[in-house]
Structure 1
Amino acid sequence: MASAALKSALRERLDVLQALWMRRDAKGIVDALYTQTTEIAGPGNEPLVQGPEELAGLVRALVDGSRGAAIRLDRIHALGGAAAYTWVTWSVLPLDGEAFSMKSLFVWVLTDSGWRIAADMYAEGEIPA
């Protein structure tokens, strides 16, 4: 289980991610949310995407392919005092067409700069409530 403080801290981070996405600020997302060693995997990404430049390129492509996105925090689990994971569901508004859902598993680590995503696995669909 996660404490109220952890839930609040990670919700705040997701709010930052959502706000930066709405501003189409891919570099800001990488700088504010990821570590220097974050790895991301998702449809069409073989092998893992890692490193600030590669992450920025992937995030730029995702941001540029949408009009916006909203993130729902579905589940959170603490992994000790300095790590946690969350399941989230994204509601993505593509440039054309109707909104669709994506799901992500974020692995979080507590750094000197606060909570950051160490790993991200995303796929189509949503996490059931």
Structure 2
Amino acid sequence: MNLNEAIEKLQTLCRAGDARVVFQEMFAEDAAVSGEGAPGITSGSALLPILTEMLKTTPMLSIRAVSTTELGDGAAATWLEWTSPRADQPEETIAFRSLTAWRKRGAAWVIAADMYGLGTFEAA
């Protein structure tokens, strides 16, 4: 699986709404996530409640790779843009961006770390 396929799989799994499946298939066991408004760094299975809430709030999540950098054998980083209509207010859109670190687990890419902020990338 290449990295673009992994991002498509992440989007598909997120839209299916099962946080446990997203975590098991798309995150390294020791993955760490933090970002704007977060109280600190969350890692491992402690990510499940955060993923659960995110998937409830963003049921039609779209994920777009803005850029990808290969970091070496089995490692890469992507700038991702995430958007979705709000579940409770579909006329409003939630948008955030992230720097996502990936690593290979067998033939698949999994998220090793994700740092996010609100908003989208502005065109250069």
2:94 to 100, 104, 107: 100
Q: Deviations over 1:44-72 (max 9, x none)?
A: 322201012x1111100101112311011
The whole-number CA distance in structure 2 between the counterparts of 1:93 and 1:122 is 18
1:30/1:113 Cα in 2 relative to 1: closer, same or farther (>3 Å)?
farther
- Kindly report structure 1 stretches of 4+ aligned residues shifted beyond 3 Å: none
Q: Deviations over 1:4-35 (max 9, x none)?
A: xxxx7111111111111111111111011101
Q: What's the C-alpha RMSD, in Å, of the aligned pairs? A: 1.5
Match of 1:44 in 2: 37
Q: Which runs of 5+ in 1 are unaligned?
A: 1-7
Contact persistence 2:64–2:82 (CA under 8 A)? yes
CA drift at 1:107: 0.3
Q: What secondary structure is seen at the aligned counterpart in 2 of 1:127?
A: coil
Match of 1:3 in 2: none
- Tell me if 1:67 matches 2:59: yes
Contact persistence 1:26–1:63 (CA under 8 A)? yes
2:68 to 72, 76, 99: 76
Contact persistence 1:87–1:127 (CA under 8 A)? no
1:100/1:65 Cα in 2 relative to 1: closer, same or farther (>3 Å)?
closer
Q: Which runs of 5+ in 2 are unaligned?
A: none
Q: How many residues align?
A: 121
The whole-number CA distance in structure 1 between the counterparts of 2:106 and 2:6 is 15
Give the alignment's TM-score, normalised by structure 1. 0.86
1:57 to 49, 69, 78: 49
1:35/1:113 Cα in 2 relative to 1: closer, same or farther (>3 Å)?
farther
Contact persistence 1:71–1:91 (CA under 8 A)? yes
Match of 2:23 in 1: 30
Contact persistence 2:6–2:108 (CA under 8 A)? no
